[in-house]
Amino acid sequence: MAYWTPTLDRVTERGVHALAMDLPGFGQSASEPGPYDMESLADTVDALCERMGLGRIVLVGGSMGGVVAQHLVLRHPMRASRLLLVSTGAFTADPATALARADAILYREGQDCGNAARRRP
């Protein structure tokens, strides 16, 4: 979390409510029992948002947190209004199927995703 402190300070100065968390197994949450996987970490972030009464959020994830953020928007597509990935990546052996899955999830949730499958890398 200390990594994000300067960023949190800057956005807070501009009137934005910001929050950073230590994922289970890291920082002050290092003692939380594992094992950990990206899906359960994403669910942990969503559960924290739920406990805090947060609706849709602008989600920023860096490095491994970016992978967690990607899982969060796939598992809980109504949680994030925007997603910003910093120094992270994603891998799929089948990008077309992954994009089609994202379209299907958003369609199922009633969101217009602008047909992600047409935006192939």
Query: Are 45 and 81 found together in one domain?
Result: yes
Same domain (yes/no): 45, 65: yes
Say if 7 falls within a structural domain: no
**56 and 85 fall within a common domain:** yes
Query: 7 Cβ partners below 8 Å, 6+ apart?
Result: 18
Q: Both 54 and 101 in a single domain?
A: no
One domain, residues 86 and 39 = yes
Tell me: do 47 and 71 sit in the same domain: yes
Domain extent, residue 47, equals: 32-90
pLDDT for the residue numbered 114: 47
Evaluate whether residue 2 is within a structural domain. Answer: no
More confident of the two residues 106 and 119: 106
Q: Are residues 102 and 115 in the same domain?
A: yes
Mean pLDDT along residues 78-98: 82
Q: How far apart, in Å, are the Cα atoms of 60 and each of 45, 66, 81, 116? A: 12, 7, 11, 20
How many angstroms separate the CA atoms of 100 and 38, rounded?
20
Domain count, the chain: 2
- pLDDT in the model for residue 63: 86
In this structure, are residues 109 and 78 in contact, taking their beta carbons and an 8 Å threshold? yes
104 occurs within a structural domain: yes
Based on the domain organization, do 54 and 74 belong to the same domain? yes
The model's pLDDT over 35-55, given as tens digits with 9 standing for 90+, comes to: 888 889 999 999 999 999 999
Rounded Cα–Cα distance for residues 30 and 59 (Å): 22
Residues 42, 53, 15: CA angle, nearest 5 degrees: 95
Are residues 36 and 85 part of one domain? yes
Q: How far apart are CA 46 and CA 50, in angstroms?
A: 6
Chain segment 14-29, per-residue pLDDT in tens = 998 888 888 888 788 8
